Amino acid sequence: QVQLTESGGGSVQAGGSLRLSCEVSSWRTTHCVAWFRQAPGKEREGVASIATSDGRTSYGDFVKDRFIISRDKATDTVYLQMNSLEPEDSAMYHCAVDFRRCGLWLLYDTKGPLDGWGQGTLVTVSS
């Protein structure tokens, strides 16, 4: 069973930055690590993904070059650097893994099951 440990959420003002971290317990068997977010009453949104094999990245349309996903192979950790945050970015951010899919194919899946899902870290952006 994949264990995902997230950290880095918090409260910031609009225009500020946060960096989220996700420690992945089974890096070698994971095809993709992604960040999703979910605000109260809204569907899950795919934020960004990174393939564990080659580091290829993909982003949701709303990211607009504000976020960067990266990985540290030495510590099996994936980061999400979020800049120019807007109040609309407020949500619970979850780290997730998938053993088969990655990229936009994964990010556009708003309802289907994933192979691993973290407890989430809350991001609140005030105007």
pLDDT digits 0-9 by tens, 27-43: 778 899 999 999 999 99
Over the chain (127 residues), the average pLDDT of each successive run of 10 is: 93 98 88 96 96 95 95 94 98 96 94 93 97
pLDDT, one tens digit per residue, over 85-103 is 999 999 999 999 999 999 9
Please give the pLDDT value at position 89. 97
Q: Which residues contact 37 (CB under 8 A, 6 or more apart)?
A: 44, 45, 47, 89, 91, 92, 93, 94, 123
